[in-house]
Amino acid sequence: MAYDVEKPDEQWRAELTPAEYAVLRKAGTEPAFVGEYTDTKAAGVYSCRACGAELFRSGTKFESHCGWPSFYDPKDSDAVELIADTSHGMVRTEVRCARCGSHLGHVFEGEGYPTPTDQRYCINSISLRLEPEEA
């Protein structure tokens, strides 16, 4: 798929830390309960750490106690793309940034969380950058 932001692999490696590269460009997962935004309650917009695209608003973030930041809806339905993921012997739905194709995490449905969408976008903190609202 063609993205608005495309860069050679060498450029991604130069611009991202090794940990960011492993998650964003190689679909890795950061360890649970260690991410910068797992428990953050600050108001603002969460953007893609790789390209800066706005992805989620803090108003849709909720406590799922799963070890990663959870959101029930993207900022804009076109902000993310959903891809079938059958890796690791599981059937899941991968969430990628629609602007640069970077891996963000996975979305799950029907888990019973009291949210308007019944979805949990389980997103790696390292894939995001919080832009706090002005006070």
**Sign of the dihedral defined by the CA atoms of residues 79, 83, 87, 89, in that order:** positive
For residue 100, indicate whether it is catalytic. no
**Separation CA 102–CA 108 (nearest Å):** 18
Token pair for 87: 């890796």
pLDDT (mean) for 124-128: 98
**Separation CA 91–CA 86 (nearest Å):** 5
Pick the catalytic residue: 48, 51, 100, 122?
122
Taking only the tens place, the pLDDT of each residue in 104-125 is: 999 999 999 999 999 999 999 9
Return the pLDDT at 129: 97
CB contact set of 62 (below 8 Å; sequence gap of 6+): 70, 71, 72, 113, 115
Q: Which domains does the chain have, with CATH numbers?
A: 9-132 (2.170.150.20)
Q: Is the confidence at residue 1, as pLDDT, over 80?
A: no
User: Which helix H or strand E contains 80, and what residues bound it?
Assistant: strand 80-85
Taking only the tens place, the pLDDT of each residue in 12-43 is: 999 999 999 999 999 999 999 999 999 999 99
Matching residue, tokens 């990628």 = 96
3-class DSSP assignment, residue 96: strand
Return the pLDDT at 34: 95
Taking only the tens place, the pLDDT of each residue in 44-98 is: 999 999 999 999 999 999 999 999 999 999 998 899 999 999 988 888 999 999 9
Return the pLDDT at 135: 62
Return the pLDDT at 134: 76
Q: Pick left, alpha or beta for residue 121 (phi over 0 → left; psi -120 to 50 → alpha; otherwise beta).
A: beta
Does the pTM surpass 0.85? The reply is yes
